[in-house]
């Protein structure tokens, strides 16, 4: 396909980026030798500018002629003010100059009515696309108001940022895996975007299986078969658990639905390290601090669930202590949490009600400057 323009410009808040935005950029990419996408974000907005720039760059990484740059624009919007127009356009020109495509712009691609005036101020051709939102019936306003309704219009990194992360944690054999699996299954059954609900397993259990298999592989044949009580745990093990837990969670968030259900997380790992090592270390605490925001913690009570030794557990006597320790950690986490008790169905009912309450509160994204 022959290009029509030398340098195309796409301006937007991308708050957040969605399929309509990518249609606009795609049109410019197919029509221009070079394209500059300028992301303009106000300082008070809920999604940081750097995140939006990174998301769009990731999507267009395979198109080297598309450059994505960002700039903070805290000027109010008034299309009747020549002074404000000059201010906004000045910031746009400043942003373009920071990218690799510093040549003059000869086409401005827009899906907004102001696109004609914007092109005029760049002495460029106005390419107006989908002003009536009939090709892509989506907007940043709609996505912010109801991300679930527009889940199929946003890309994996945006989904990962918006997904509500629900973490189930608790002491050994208190039903954390059962509850987290049941919760994910119940959400999937709702269909629509919730059919994509992912469940993040506990990596610590996987590592226990591996360590036990290794110990048994090298044990002398004339000695008792090693059990989980014979395993040695060092700080590097807990750093590995937290790191892999974070990585798996993030991958699942990118490919899942509006709610991500996690069977433990790196915050819980700090308590497990304390249980086995007597204290937590800075690397594990740092991995816990680096986690994306949690929407809700569900703590499984050690009551109502008999201890079941499945060959990978050895801490029945520590269940009350661990439950108390989780309570203390969650109380200072700054995240809403709920202790869950009762039989299996009761626990699931309480968990679903808590998740629905969180979803009903919405995402609380700040409005852009208007």
Cα distances (angstroms) measured from residue 314 to each of 208, 279, 303, 327 = 12, 19, 17, 21
The predicted pLDDT at position 313 comes to 66
Domain ranges of the chain: 5-143, 163-360
Options 1.10.760.10, 3.40.50.300, 3.40.980.10, 3.40.50.620; CATH for 5-143 is 3.40.50.620
Q: What is the dihedral of CA 350, 355, 360, 366, to 10 degrees?
A: 140
Fold match between domain 5-143 and domain 163-360? yes
The per-residue DSSP string of 34-69 comes to: EEEEEEEE-TTSSS-HHHHHHHHHHHTTT-TTEEEE
CA–CA distance, 57 with 66 (Å, rounded to integer): 9
CA–CA distance, 150 with 23 (Å, rounded to integer): 16
The predicted pLDDT at position 1 comes to 53
**Residues, the chain, total?**
370
Element (H, E) at 289: helix 282-289
CA–CA distance, 179 with 163 (Å, rounded to integer): 19
CA–CA distance, 121 with 136 (Å, rounded to integer): 27
CA–CA distance, 77 with 45 (Å, rounded to integer): 15
The predicted pLDDT at position 271 comes to 97
The predicted pLDDT at position 329 comes to 98
Options 3.40.50.880, 3.40.50.720, 3.30.10.20, 3.40.50.300; CATH for 163-360 is 3.40.50.300
Beta strands in the chain (DSSP E): 5-12, 32-41, 66-72, 107-110, 125-128, 164-170, 198-200, 259-263, 296-300, 337-340
Instruction: Tally Cβ neighbours within 10 Å of residue 54.
Output: 15
* pLDDT averages per 10-residue partition of the chain, 370 residues: 86 97 97 97 97 98 96 95 96 95 91 95 96 90 96 98 98 94 98 98 93 90 86 95 98 98 98 95 98 98 78 71 96 97 97 98 91
The predicted pLDDT at position 312 comes to 54
The predicted pLDDT at position 18 comes to 97
Return the bridge partners of 298, or none. Answer: 168, 338
CA–CA distance, 57 with 353 (Å, rounded to integer): 38
């Amino acid at each position: 396909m022959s290009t029509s323009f030398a340098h195309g410009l796409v301006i937007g808040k991308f708050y957040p980026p969605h399929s309509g935005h990518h249609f606009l950029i795609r049109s410019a990419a197919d029509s221009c030798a070079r394209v500059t996408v300028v992301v303009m974000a106000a300082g008070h907005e809920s999604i940081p500018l750097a995140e939006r720039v990174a998301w769009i760059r990731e999507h267009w990484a395979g198109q080297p002629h598309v450059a994505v740059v960002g700039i903070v624009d805290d000027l109010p919007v008034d299309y009747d003010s020549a002074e404000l127009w000059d201010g906004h356009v000045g910031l746009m020109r400043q942003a373009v100059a920071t990218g690799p495509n510093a040549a003059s712009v000869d086409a401005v691609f827009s899906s907004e009515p102001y696109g004609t005036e914007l092109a005029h101020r760049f002495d460029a051709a106005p390419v107006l696309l989908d002003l009536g939102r009939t090709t892509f019936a989506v907007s940043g306003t709609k996505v912010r108001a109801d991300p679930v309704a527009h889940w199929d219009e946003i890309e994996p990194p945006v989904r990962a940022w918006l997904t509500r992360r629900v973490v189930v944690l608790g002491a050994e054999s208190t039903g954390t895996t059962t509850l987290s699996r049941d919760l994910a299954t119940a959400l999937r059954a709702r269909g629509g975007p919730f059919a994509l609900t992912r469940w993040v397993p506990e990596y610590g259990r996987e590592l226990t299986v591996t360590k036990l298999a290794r110990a048994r592989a090298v044990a002398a044949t004339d000695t008792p078969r090693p059990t989980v009580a014979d395993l040695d745990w060092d700080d590097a093990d807990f750093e590995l658990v937290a790191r892999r837990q974070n990585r798996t969670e993030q991958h699942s968030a990118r490919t899942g639905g509006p709610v991500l259900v996690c069977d433990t997380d790196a915050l819980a790992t700090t308590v497990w390290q304390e249980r086995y090592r007597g204290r937590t270390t800075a690397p594990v605490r740092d991995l816990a601090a680096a986690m994306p925001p949690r929407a809700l913690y569900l703590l499984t009570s050690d009551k109502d669930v008999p201890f079941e030794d499945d060959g990978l557990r050895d801490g029945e006597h520590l269940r009350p202590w661990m439950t108390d320790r989780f309570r203390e950690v969650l109380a200072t986490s700054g995240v809403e949490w709920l202790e869950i008790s009762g039989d299996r169905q009761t626990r699931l009912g309480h968990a679903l009600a808590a998740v629905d309450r969180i979803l009903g509160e919405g995402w609380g994204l700040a409005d852009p400057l208007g």
